[in-house]
Amino acid sequence: MHSSPGSRAPADHGSAEDAFLEYFARRDDGEGVDLEQYCARYPQWAEELRALDRDWRELAVGLGRAAGPTVDSSAVGSEAAAEARARAIVDETLARLKRSADGEVAARYRVVDEIDRGGMGAVLRVFDEDLRRELAMKVIIQSEAGSPLAAPARRLARFLEEARIAGQLDHPGIVPVHELGVDEQGAAYFTMKLVRGKTLRHAIVRAHDPQDADWNLTRVVGVLQKVCEAMAYAHERGVLHRDLKPANIMLREDGSLALIDFGVAKLRDSAAELTRVGEVFGTPYYMSPEQGDGAPVDERADLYSLGVVLHELLTGRKPYVAATPMAVIGKHRHAPLPRLPEPFEACQPLLERLMAKAPESRFESAQEVLEAVAELVARPADARATGGDELHSA
């Protein structure tokens, strides 16, 4: 899934922020870059680069960072309660899984290679020796103590919740979960259908390559519709994704699409809240203003993220970029939405409603977005953007 490391040579930069932005962009594009390479290249900024990276990672996975300037005393009790709920979920689930484990996980699943790695877990390609097929297996990343079980309770609880939430969703546009279990060391894992293809992140790069004639506005609209269909299904079942972005949308080899990584997803009406007061989840580039504030979110936060994805599909660029996480979040709150290039101006009203600053000004549901897209597609060609079937003019 990743491009080869070093496919783009680092440029010379005048500040730590500029160097970090290049590093982050390369990492977001799927290149196997290492932050320490940049620290070695710019030793005078090494500590600043590491600090910027820590900020991004903490915001991206929602671990231990409050968005608001202060947390009142009531948050202490809330945090303790969230930790207690998480520990109860972890203890109860792992105990039940241990009772059902047969002690032969290592014999059944043979690890082929590592597909991807994120803030909370790693995804492995494994071969199921019993059913003779390849699967994807997600495992929690080991803590510094060396054991996945030494991870914070909420991190383990979210890992288990990801499997449970995704396991409840049965839709062609969402990767199905097959099994939740524990290995011989008592560490949790879950297996999924292996998706063969590329992420939408790779497709966006291709879409804006003048040599690629396969990507056009018609295909972009098709991708948008498929994502909306999957999101509508999840939302109808009370599931909020909370981290919708091109890297979490897979384009299969057969042209179909699948949402992946429900690692920070939430059941809208769940009574067991694992989130601390003011805690931030998601990736800042794609975050709604209320999500960046650590405020409660609903389906409309996912639709805002969908608008960011649409902007990137059409232009090849993220609408808001800045040197620090909080600066990006600030732009989502206050900066005007950039205008689309003339070939895509017919999509501007759709984009503005998806990315409205106030949730009440957005579409109410993914189904409503689907209807708006259908209306856009149904317009006569001369009523849409001139030359609007070519992405390369963006």
Domains of the chain: 16-61 (no CATH), 74-193 (3.30.200.20), 197-383 (1.10.510.10)
What are the backbone dihedrals phi and psi of residue 73, each rounded to the nearest 5 degrees, phi first?
A: -65, -25
Radius of gyration of the chain (CA): 21
Cα distances (angstroms) measured from residue 178 to each of 137, 166, 181, 231, 261: 10, 10, 10, 21, 15
Helical spans, DSSP H, in 42-141:
46-61, 74-100, 105-108
Torsion (CA) 356, 70, 267, 331 in degrees, nearest 10:
20
Among positive and negative, which fits the CA dihedral 335, 336, 340, 342?
negative
Q: What is the pLDDT of residue 227?
A: 96
Tokens of 235: 């939302």
Q: Which stretches of 141-245 are assigned E, i.e. beta strand?
A: 177-182, 188-193, 197-199, 239-240
pTM for this one? 0.76
Q: What is the pLDDT of residue 6?
A: 36
Which residue in 28, 29, 116, 243 is the catalytic one?
A: 243
Provide the residue-wise pLDDT of the chain in tens; the chain has 394 residues: 233 333 334 445 567 777 777 777 666 555 567 788 888 888 888 888 888 777 766 555 443 333 333 334 344 445 566 667 767 766 776 666 665 555 566 678 999 999 887 656 789 999 999 999 999 999 887 654 445 544 567 778 888 888 889 999 999 999 999 999 888 777 889 999 999 999 998 888 777 776 665 667 788 889 999 999 999 999 999 999 988 999 899 999 998 999 998 877 777 665 444 454 445 566 889 999 999 888 889 999 999 999 999 999 999 899 998 877 788 899 999 999 989 998 889 999 999 999 999 999 999 999 999 999 999 888 765 545 444 455 444 3
**Catalytic status, residue 212:** no
The predicted pLDDT at position 48 comes to 84
d(CA 82, CA 154): 8
pLDDT of residue 385: 45
Compute CA 317 distance to the chain's CA centroid, rounded to the nearest angstrom.
17
Q: What angle do CA 341, 344, 349 make, to 5 degrees?
A: 105
3-state secondary structure of 302: helix
Give the per-residue pLDDT at 140.
81
Comparing C-alpha atoms, which of 292, 247, 273 is closest to residue 65? 292
User: What is the C-alpha to C-alpha distance for residues 306 and 243, in angstroms, rounded to an integer?
Assistant: 10
Within its chain, how far is the Cα of 290 from the centroid? 17
Angle (CA) 332 209 320, round 5°: 10
